[in-house]
Amino acid sequence: MFVGAFDIGGTKTIVALADETGKVYEKLQFPTDTSDCLKHLDQCCEIFQGFLENRGIAPGEISGIGVNLPGLVDCEKGILIRAVYAGWNNIPVKEHLSRKLQIDRIVCENDVNSCAIGELKFGLGKQFRSFGWMTVSTGVGGAVVCDGKLLRGAHGYAGEFGHIKVEYVSPQLCPCGEYGCLEAHGSGTALNRLIKEQVQKDLAFDAAFEALQESPSGVSCAKLAKSGNETAQAIFCQVGEYLGRGIACYTNILDPDAVIIGGGVSASLDLLMPGIRKSLEQYTFAQMKDVKILPTALGYEAALMGAIAIAL
Ligand SMILES: [Zn+2]
């Protein structure tokens, strides 16, 4: 049995052909064309049809296609309601793909929810039945899995970790328009802001980047922190403290087995952990302080595995 997976993000898209075990046979990554969503979907279809031709597979042998979308999704109707970064609104994704590919079973899902479903089926979900998923990259996204099921909430917004308030005294503006959100303090964007501020006021820190022959960034700052630079370590600790405040709120409400972290910043999870643990110690109910904080078992392609999982 084969399935298709279209992982459509705000900047890049991956189209893949896989089987029911999650094994990927064909895969292609390319930039997302945000100018016209339907045109971009057509491009995904052409690539997928090319995979089928290469392998001599008929559309009738495809049991379904999982489609990740970068925004709010009406999963039942298969409509992308709104994708802020791409500027897409009310796109009938399921209907369009179904007609173009002659495949009935098209399953659409928000990309962060899809990561959590992928983790549940192919990753740490084999060990844990209740967990929070957080994508920490430019922003902070989240999803909630409780007793082996994704929680959607009344309007599909459940698990919006990014907008838990974590700073009340000197809050930063969040892209959502509010102040003090986790996304404004515990994201890759926040990390870059702290690095930039520190470089401007700290000549020794600036010189450390020069010695490294790299410009200041999250990646180069992680290198400094790993080589023992205490200023760099303190910046990661501060971002980690904010993440920990968000995780503490979540843990107090849902008592998860684990909180699983994906996204670009998760590669530096070891550097964030001292800050995360400090906040958990302070803000979590005593019996739940030791909640496991783990990087995704699915690595960089968690979302693609999610698209395969929803298709199955
Ligand atoms: Zn916000």
Tens-place pLDDT, residues 69-107? 998 999 999 999 998 878 899 999 999 999 999 999 999
Q: How far is the CA of 59 from the centre of ligand 1 (A)?
A: 42
The domains of the chain are located at 2-118+301-311, 127-294
Using the mean position of ligand 1's atoms as its centre, give its distance from the Cα of residue 70 in Å.
17
pLDDT at 156 over 90: no
Q: What is the pLDDT of residue 173?
A: 96
- Other CB atoms within 10 Å distance of the CB of residue 104: 10
Which residues, at least 6 apart from 165, have a Cβ–Cβ distance to it below 8 Å? 171, 178, 180, 181, 182
**pLDDT of res. 10:** 84
Locate 18 and state its tokens.
């896989």
Please give the single-letter amino acid code of residue 301: E
Model pLDDT for residues 8-63, shown as the tens digit of each residue: 988 899 999 999 999 999 999 999 999 999 999 999 999 999 999 999 999 999 99
Upper half-sphere CA count for residue 30 (Cβ side, 13 Å): 14
Token pair recorded at residue 203 = 């000549």
Question: What pLDDT shows up at residue 155?
Answer: 84
For the chain, helix (H) and strand (E) counts, in that order, are: 10, 13
The Å distance, Cα 8 to ligand 1 centre, comes to: 23
Beta carbons of 147 and 130 less than 8 angstroms apart: yes
Query: Does 3.40.47.10 match the CATH number of domain 2-118+301-311?
Result: no
Span 173-188, average pLDDT: 95
Query: Residue 277: is its pLDDT beyond 90?
Result: yes
Task: Note the pLDDT of residue 84.
Answer: 80
Q: For the domain bounded by 127-294, which CATH number is listed? A: 3.30.420.40
| Lowest mean pLDDT, pick from 81-90, 244-253, 274-283 | 81-90
Q: Which whole number is the average pLDDT over 211-231? A: 97
CA 144 – ligand 1 centroid, Å: 18
Over its C-alpha atoms, the chain yields an Rg (Å, rounded) of 20
DSSP-derived secondary structure for 213-262: TS-S-HHHHHHHHHTT-HHHHHHHHHHHHHHHHHHHHHHHHH--SEEEEE
> pLDDT at position 88, please?
93
What's the gap in Å between 174 CA and the centre of ligand 1? Answer: 5
165 alpha carbon – ligand 1 mean position (Å):
8
Q: What is the pLDDT of residue 87?
A: 87
pLDDT for the residue 85: 79
Q: Is the pLDDT of residue 67 over 90?
A: yes
Separation of CA 222 and ligand 1 centre (Å) = 26
pLDDT at residue number 231: 98
- Per-residue pLDDT, averaged over 117-123, amounts to 96
- How sure is the predictor about 295, in pLDDT bands with cuts at 50, 70 and 90? very high
pLDDT, mean of residues 253-270 = 94
Tell me what the mean pLDDT of segment 147-157 comes to: 91
**At residue 283, does pLDDT exceed 90?**
yes
Any bridge partners for residue 146, and if so which? Answer: 149
Is there a shared CATH topology between the 2-118+301-311 domain and the 127-294 domain? yes
What's the chain's average pLDDT? 95
